[in-house]
Amino acid sequence: MLDLVNALTLLANFVLIPGITYGSQLGLGALGVTIVYGILRFSNFAHGDTMAFGTMVTILLTLWIQSLGITFYPLPTALLMVPFGVVITTILVLGIDKAVYAHFRQVNAPPVMFVIASVGVMFVLQGLIRLIIGPDDQSFADGARFILRAREFKEYFGLSEGLSIKVTQLMSLVVTFLLVISLFWFLHRTRTGKSLRAYSDNRDLAQLSGINPDRVVLYTWILATALATIAGVLYGLDKSFKPSVYFQLLLPIFAAAIVGGLGNPLGAFVGGFVVAFSEITITYAYKRFFAYLLPEELEPTTLLQLLGTEYKFAVSFLILVIVLLIRPSGIFAGKSA
């Protein structure tokens, strides 16, 4: 019985909790991508760097209020500054929309033009971030770090395996969950949300029924930027802030959005978990897990690893290819990618 508890604790500590954390971080990022895709109809490659920009603004504000002696114990101080980060980043993104995307909407450019323009915006944002805060790693997490510490858990329950849960890990899950629910409520229950969906379904018809397209664009960018900033800050709190890593996040985020079904918020959420868990479960070495469960003479001598960790990206992209082959619109029917 004790062996079974040990085995499950082991799995929870190294697979379940990290998977849930990473999954909700990806899901939150994918939500922003999916909303822009669903309503403005293009893949926004600048999303990763919008996340980085929002996080950077939040970090700078956090450093400032920390220097004034204000903290938010036991939660990280950065949480207090997220709304301000969202506002400043939204102003920037709306400025970019006016300067770049508005023109392409005017001339009714094909989606691929928007995509390429967003790549340009991405590079400009990357340069801007490096100019302002530099390329270095920043860690800005303060407050309590752990809800549960591995060593204390081990001693308290008399187990040989520990379980650790960080504040940031729980926060990632809770915030993502709340945001998905409120986004769903917003899109389905409010007038503005319905107008967004109407615009997404049929642009011309929506305009004929009196929906103001400029308003729709405005709300979409506000939503997407708020999601990006929150996702970026949560990720930065849990790991650390490094501009180049936010660019790297773009790939798994798009994978999550496409697997779940581009344009579908629930799909983005689920897609994040699919990508995260596929990376972790397939490359985990199950040696110790089975060592607890099996009798001594059957104890495994190899690592029992399905695939080396260097192939973890191959796993999530294999899933992506399979989903696109079998269900091109994603697990939850979105717009076909």
Partner 1 sequence: MKKVSMFAMAALLSFCVQSKAEEVKIGILLSFTGPIEELVGPMAEGAEFAVAEVSDSGLFLGGSTVTPVRGDATCVDAGAATAAAERLVTADKVSAIMGSDCSGTTGAVLQNVALPNGIVMISPASTSPGFTTVEDDGLFFRTAPSDARQGQLMAEIITERGFGSVAVTFINNDYGKGLADSFAAAFEGMGGEITINAPHEVGKADYSAEVAALAAAGGDLMVVAGYIGEGGKSIVRGSIDAGSFDTFVFPDGMYGDGLLDDFGNELDGSFGQAPGTDSPGLATFAELVSSAGINGEGPFIGESYDAAALILLAMQAAGSSESSMLKEKVMDVANAPGEKIYPGELAKALEILANGGEIDYVGASSVELIGPGESAGNYREFEVQNGAWETVAFR
Interface with partner 1 (CB under 8 A): 13-15, 18-19, 21-22, 25-26, 134-137, 139, 146, 149-151, 154, 162, 164, 166, 235, 239-240, 242, 244-245, 248-249, 252, 276, 279-280, 283-289, 303, 305, 308-310, 312-313
Q: Give me the sign of the Cα torsion angle 84, 173, 224, 134.
A: positive
Of how many residues is the chain composed? Answer: 337
List the structure tokens of 149: 């510490």
Q: What's the alpha-carbon Rg for the chain, to the nearest Å?
A: 22
Separation CA 52–CA 36 (nearest Å): 17
Least Å from the CB of residue 317 to partner 1? 13
Nearer to partner 1, 154 or 335 (CB): 154
Least distance from C-beta 288 to partner 1, angstroms? 5
Nearest-approach distance from CB 136 to partner 1, in angstroms: 5
Report the nearest approach of partner 1 to the CB of residue 320 (Å).
Answer: 16
The one-letter amino acid at 323: V
| Residue 32 host element (H or E) | helix 17-40
Nearest-approach distance from CB 299 to partner 1, in angstroms: 14
List the structure tokens of 44.
């926004």
Q: Using an 8 Å Cβ cutoff, are 38 and 188 in contact?
A: no
How many Cα atoms sit within 13 Å of 182 on the Cβ side? 10
Distance CA 94, CA 288 (A): 52
Q: Which residue number, 31 or 40, has a Cβ lying nearer to partner 1?
A: 31
Q: Which is nearer to partner 1, 38 or 54 (CB)?
A: 54
Which residue, 247 or 332, is less far from partner 1 as judged by CB? 247
Nearer to partner 1, 175 or 206 (CB): 175
Q: What is the DSSP string of 203-262?
A: HHHHHHTT--HHHHHHHHHHHHHHHHHHHHHHHHHHS-B-HHHHHHHHHHHHHHHHHH-T
Residue 133: CB minimum distance to partner 1, A: 12
Give the nearer residue to partner 1 in terms of CB position, either 74 or 134.
Answer: 134
Q: Closest by alpha carbon to 31, among 227, 205, 249?
A: 227
CA dihedral of residues 146, 276, 9, 309 (deg, nearest 10): -110
For residues 38 and 48, which CB has a smaller minimum distance to partner 1 in the complex?
Answer: 48
Residue 205 or 306 with smaller CB distance to partner 1: 306
Q: Count CB atoms within 10 A of the CB of residue 89.
A: 24
Please, what is the minimum distance in Å from the beta carbon of residue 160 to partner 1?
11
> Least distance to partner 1 from the beta carbon of 33, Å?
14
